[in-house]
Amino acid sequence: MSCGKKAAAQIVLLITGITMLCFGVWRGEAATVLSKAIKLCLECVGIG
């Protein structure tokens, strides 16, 4: 991969990552993450 192409790929991926992250927050995924993370995850600890 040439230097220019690599830099372009890096910029495109950074923009993609930021856009996806913002879109996810906008549609309420962050609230789902918080509600799961503050409660004891039964599957994680081996109950269930």
| CA-angle at 30, arms to 28 and 42, nearest 5° | 115
The footprint of another protein on this chain (CB under 8 A) covers a number of residues equal to: 40
Burial class (CB in 10 A: 0-12, 13-18, 19+), 5: exposed
Least distance to another protein, CB of residue 26, Å: 9
List the interface residues with another protein, window 2-31 (CB under 8 A).
3-4, 6-7, 9-11, 13-14, 16-25, 27-31
* Tokens coding 4: 């220019």
Catalog residues that contact another protein under the rule CB under 8 A.
1, 3-4, 6-7, 9-11, 13-14, 16-25, 27-34, 36-41, 43-48
